[in-house]
Structure 1
Amino acid sequence: MPEPDRDPELPLFRDADETVQAIHQGDVDAVVVMRDLEGPEVILLHGAEEPYRVLVERMSDGALTAGPDGVILYVNDRLCELTGSPSAHLVGRHLASLFEGEPPNLTPDVTAEARLLRNGDDAMPVAVWSRPIAIGSTTAILVRLTDLSIHRRAEQLAAAERFARSVLEQATEAIVVLSPGGHITHASWRAEQLAERPPVGCTFSAAFPLEAQNAEGSATLARFSTGSIDTILATRPFHGVEVKLRGECNAQSTYLLSAGPLVDDNRVSVGSIVTLTDMTERKRAEEQQTMMVAELNHRVKNILAIVQSVASQTMRSSGSLENFADAFSGRLKALATAHDILTETRWIGVGLSELVAAVLAPYRSPDDSRVSILGPAILLPTRAVVPLSMVLHEMTTNAAKYGALSTRRGNIEISWQVSGGSDKSVELVWQERGGPKLEAGASAGFGTKLIDRVISYDLDGKTRVDFDSAGVRWTISFPVGGRVAA
C-alpha cells in the first residue's frame, strides 16, 4: 500500500519525526507505548544506559533505581538535593531507610504518600510512584519522588483563608485586616455594615473616617496625619482609643479602636488586624452610673443634714433624755418610711395617697372611721417624699399626743386638691375632730416650727395652722409641677 503524503508542518508528524531522530542519535533510552488493554508500557532501548541517566538527571523530581532486593543502585541530583545527602551516602542503602516510619507500598503505577527523611531537617511530604524497569538483562525498580511541601503549604494557606473568612463572617464586631500599605484585604460582616463604601480594597481612612471622643483619643489621632494614618494602623500596635465614625448612620455610636500586628510563621509582619468595638451601651451605662453615684452622694448628704438638724432641734425642745429619745426615734422612723417607699418605687416618685396611708397606717381602723383620705391621684416629685413624710409624721405625732388620735372618738380627715396651670400646686388640709378641747390662745410648739420650716425650705411651700374648738386645722400648699396623674 503506498505511504500517504505527510506534511512535515503538521504537529503530529513533526513530533514523530523528532522522536525517531532522537532514538537514532542515542538521546532516548526508553519510550512509552500505549496498549489498548494493558495501558502504558515503558520499553527500554538496549545499550542505552547513558541516555537513561541523562533523562533521569533532567527530571524535576527526585528519582532512584533500586534492585530487586530494594538496595539503591542509582540516584539523581534532585533526590540528593531533597534529602540533603550526596549520592555516595545514598547508593547502597536500602530504599526503606529513606522514609520516616513505615515505607510506602511500592505498587506499580500507584502513587502513595510518605515522609522523606532529610539530613538535619524535618521530614518532607512526598508523593512516591514506582514501576519495574529492565536495564539490559537486569530487572530493577524506578522510583520517582515528588515534593509535596509546596502543595501542602498551598493547602494550609487555603484552609487558613477559609478559616479566617468563617471567623470574620461570624464575628459580631467590626474587624478588618490591613495590608502593610494600609489597604483592607478582609472585612467582617459588621465592618461592611459600618463602612461608607465596600471596604475591601480601600484604605482604612477612606472606609472608616474617624474622629476622637476624648482628649487621649484626640492626642492619639492628632499624630496620624491624613496621609499616614493607614500606614500607622498597619504597622504600629495600639489599643483603647475611643472614636466615632463620621456620617449620619453612626453619629450616635461610640467605638473602641485597636490595632495589632499580623505576622507570618517567620514572625515577619504582613499587615495588621484592626477592630472597632461598639461600646455605645457601655458608655451610656457608665454615664448613668456616674449620675447615680452623684445623685446618691447628694441624697446621703441631704439625709445627714436632715438628721443633724432634727437631732439638734429635738434636743433643744426636749426636757429630758427620755423625751429626746422618743421624739428623735419617731422622726428617724419617718425618714426610714419615706426611703422604704422610694426604694420600692425605684426613686421615680410616690403617690400622695400612698405616702399618707403609709405614715398613718398604725392609726387607721379596718373601717377607716378614724382616718379618712380623700383627693385626686398625684405623683409626688422624688425630692418631696422625704420632707413631706417628716411633716406628716410630726402632724400624726402631735395628733396622737395632744389631738384627735389621743381619744377614742377622735378622727382625722386629710384631703387635697390641685390648682394651677402647667405649674401645678397641691393644697392639703389636715382637719382634726373629736379630740381634747383646745384652750384659748394655744401656741405653736417645736413640731409646728419644724413643719413650717420643712414646707418652706424643702418644698418651697406655705403652711397655716388654726386652733379652734373643733380641732387643729393644718393647711399646706406646695408646688408639684406637672406630675398630676391622669
Structure 2
Amino acid sequence: MVQGPSGPQVIMLQGADAPYHMLVERMSDGALTLDADGSIVYVNSRLCALTGLDARQLVGRSFASLFAGAAPQQRADDSASDAQLRRADGGDLPVSVWMRQMAMSGVVATLVTLTDMSVQRRAEEVATAERFARSILEQATDAVVVLALDGRITHASWVAEQLAERSPVGQLFSEAFPLDAQSASQQGTLSRFSRESLDQALATKPFHGVEVALRNPRMSGRSFLLSGGPLVNDAKDAVGSIVTLTDITDRKRAEEQQTMLVAELNHRVKNILAIVQSVAGQTLRTSPSLPAFNKAFSGRIQAVSIAHDILTQTRWIGIGFNELLTTVLAPYGVGEGRIAIEGPPVLLEARLVLPLSMVLHELATNASKYGALSAPLGRVAISWNLRDDRRRLELVWLERGGPRIEAGGARGFGTTLIDRVVRFDLDGEATLAFEPDGIRCTMIFALTAETTPELVPASAVQPD
C-alpha cells in the first residue's frame, strides 16, 4: 500500500507467482517499502526481528528514524550503503542497505533490503584475530602452544616444534614435552599432578616461572621456565590455555658467572685489605716520624692503585711484563735512559699484577732513596728469562753507579715485604745481594698457578 494520486493504493508486483509480501517474507534479509515521502508502508517479519519491533510499530514511521546516525538517502538509481540500525533494546546493529525505486501502477515506491552484517563482521574479526595469533606463533622466540580443555595441543610455534622434534599438535602437553622440575620445591608443584591431570591443570590454572628441564637427551643441560594461563572467550569462560617454555640456559649461565665474579671480587678485596692492613702496620712501626710514614705508606698504596688501574683496563685478563714494568716504573725515569729493560715477551696472569707491582715499587723506592737512582749517574738494569719450559720466570734487578753499599746491608721492612710477597703471592723465591756497586735482586716465580693463592696473612709481612 502506497500513497497514490487519488489516495492510498494496494500495489501488486506484476508477473510474479505470488503477491509481493509473500516474496519478501521468505527473504533472509529485512525488507521494507517506502513511499515517495520516505515513510514506511510495508515491512517483512525479518525486519521486525532485526529491530525488535512489530509491524504496527514500524509502518508509518520515517525511514530515517530506523537508524542511529545518518540514514541512507533515497535515490532514483540503485544504491547500497552501510548503516547502523537502531534496535528496540537500545543497541545498534551493523547492516548493509540496498535501495531501488520502482514505478508500480503509476506510483513510485522504494524497495529496501537490510542485511545483518554482525555475523560477517564477527567472522572477519575472528579471522583477523586468528591471523594475528598465527603471526605471533610464527614470530615467537619462545616455545608457545595452545591447549584445548582436554590438554591436547591445538596450535604450536615453530620453536615448540623444534623442542618436540616434530609438530606436537594433537598430543597431550605432557607427551610432547615431558618435564622435570629443577628444584625440590618446584618438583612438588609438578608432582601434585599426575601425567594425565597435568595437562588439565595447564589448561585451567595459571603457572608462572616454574623452572623445568626437558627429558630429552638433545636438551640435556638446558633449563626452561614453564608459564601458562587460561585462554578465555568473550563470556570469560575458559576454553583452553596458552603455555610457554622459555629457554633460560644462557641467562642462568650469566647469573652463575656473575656470582662467580662477585665471589672472586670479594676474594681480591679481602686480599688487598689484608695487604694494606699489614703494610700500614709495619710501615708505621718502621717509620721514624709521621711524615715519613705518610710518604712511605702513600707510595705503597699508590703501587696498589696502579696495579688495579692496569687490571681494570685489561678487564682482569692480564698484561705483558714489559708493559707492567713501563707503567709501574714511569715515575722513576724508565723512559729516560736511567732504567733499562730487556727480556722476551711474557703475558702475566692477572693474579701476578698486584704482587709484582708492590715488589717493583719497593725496589724502585729503595733505589731512588739509597741506591742507583739517588745518584746522577746511577742506572738500573732489569732483565728476565723464561725457565722450566716457560713455566717460571727469572727476574734480575741490577743497580750500578749508586752510592757504595756495605756488605750485608741493612734489612728493613721493604726488604722483608719483597721476600714475603714473592714467597706467598708469587709462589717463588727472592735473593737480595748487597754488592759494592749496587743491589742485585734475583726473583724466580711461577707464571701459572695450579691453585689459587690464599690470602696473605698479616704475619707474612712481619719483619724478622
Indicate the TM-score class for this superposition, using the shorter chain for normalisation.
0.7 to 0.9
Q: More deviation in 145-154 or 340-349? A: 145-154
**Residue 67 of structure 1: how far off its partner (Å):** 3.8
Other-structure match for 2:382: 414
The answer to whether structure 1 residue 304 and structure 2 residue 276 are counterparts is no
**Residue 257 of structure 1: how far off its partner (Å):** 2.4
Equivalent position amino acid for 1:310 in 2: V
Percent of paired sites with the same residue: 58
**Do 1:62 and 1:144's aligned partners in 2 also have CA atoms closer than 8 Å?**
yes
Q: More deviation in 223-232 or 391-400? A: 223-232
Q: Which one of the candidate residues 357, 368, 372 is aligned to 1:404? A: 372
**Do 2:430 and 2:441's aligned partners in 1 also have CA atoms closer than 8 Å?**
yes
Q: Which one of the candidate residues 231, 243, 253 is aligned to 1:274? A: 243
Other-structure match for 1:356: 325
Other-structure match for 2:437: 470
| 1:469/1:65 CA distance change after superposition, 3 Å | closer
TM-score under structure 2 length normalisation:
0.85
Other-structure match for 2:399: 432
| Correspondence list, 1:224-239, <5 A | 224-239=193-208
**Do 2:51 and 2:85's aligned partners in 1 also have CA atoms closer than 8 Å?**
yes
The answer to whether structure 1 residue 481 and structure 2 residue 421 are counterparts is no
Q: 1:384-415 deviations in whole A, cap 9, x for unaligned? A: 21112111111112222222222122222222
Equivalent position amino acid for 1:438 in 2: I
Structure 2 counterpart SS, 1:324: helix
| Structure 2 gaps, min length 5 | 1-10, 451-464
Q: Which one of the candidate residues 420, 425, 448 is aligned to 1:453? A: 420
Q: 1:285-315 deviations in whole A, cap 9, x for unaligned? A: 2222222221112111111111100011111
Other-structure match for 1:26: none
Structure 2 counterpart SS, 1:408: coil
**Residue 131 of structure 1: how far off its partner (Å):** 5.5
The answer to whether structure 1 residue 391 and structure 2 residue 359 are counterparts is yes
Query: CA–CA distance in 2 between the matches of 1:69 and 1:402?
Result: 122
| Structure 1 gaps, min length 5 | 1-28, 32-41
Query: CA–CA distance in 2 between the matches of 1:341 and 1:175?
Result: 48
Other-structure match for 1:201: 170
Backbone CA RMSD of aligned residues:
2.9
Other-structure match for 2:48: 80
| 1:343/1:59 CA distance change after superposition, 3 Å | closer
Other-structure match for 1:313: 282
Q: More deviation in 155-164 or 199-208? A: 199-208
| 1:65/1:322 CA distance change after superposition, 3 Å | closer
Other-structure match for 1:104: 72
Structure 1 counterpart SS, 2:64: helix
Query: CA–CA distance in 1 between the matches of 2:242 and 2:216?
Result: 23
Q: Which one of the candidate residues 290, 301, 320 is aligned to 2:259? A: 290
**Do 1:44 and 1:134's aligned partners in 2 also have CA atoms closer than 8 Å?**
no
Query: CA–CA distance in 2 between the matches of 1:354 and 1:457?
Result: 24
Equivalent position amino acid for 1:43 in 2: G
**Residue 110 of structure 1: how far off its partner (Å):** 5.3
| 1:382/1:202 CA distance change after superposition, 3 Å | same
Size of the aligned set, in residue pairs, is: 439
| Correspondence list, 1:73-222, <5 A | 73-105=41-73, 111-130=80-99, 140-222=109-191
Query: CA–CA distance in 2 between the matches of 1:407 and 1:174?
Result: 75
Query: CA–CA distance in 2 between the matches of 1:365 and 1:343?
Result: 23
CA radius of gyration, larger in? 1
**Do 1:106 and 1:129's aligned partners in 2 also have CA atoms closer than 8 Å?**
no
The answer to whether structure 1 residue 264 and structure 2 residue 233 are counterparts is yes
**Do 2:78 and 2:101's aligned partners in 1 also have CA atoms closer than 8 Å?**
no
TM-score under structure 1 length normalisation:
0.81
**Do 2:380 and 2:400's aligned partners in 1 also have CA atoms closer than 8 Å?**
yes
Equivalent position amino acid for 1:317 in 2: T
Equivalent position amino acid for 1:442 in 2: G
**Residue 270 of structure 1: how far off its partner (Å):** 2.2
Query: CA–CA distance in 2 between the matches of 1:445 and 1:129?
Result: 110
Equivalent position amino acid for 1:262 in 2: L
Query: CA–CA distance in 1 between the matches of 2:265 and 2:79?
Result: 82
Other-structure match for 2:15: 43
Q: Which one of the candidate residues 305, 311, 323 is aligned to 1:336? A: 305
Query: CA–CA distance in 1 between the matches of 2:335 and 2:428?
Result: 33
Query: CA–CA distance in 1 between the matches of 2:260 and 2:28?
Result: 75
| 1:153/1:371 CA distance change after superposition, 3 Å | same
Query: CA–CA distance in 1 between the matches of 2:228 and 2:63?
Result: 52
Equivalent position amino acid for 2:438 in 1: G
Structure 1 counterpart SS, 2:228: strand
Query: CA–CA distance in 1 between the matches of 2:361 and 2:341?
Result: 15
**Residue 180 of structure 1: how far off its partner (Å):** 2.1
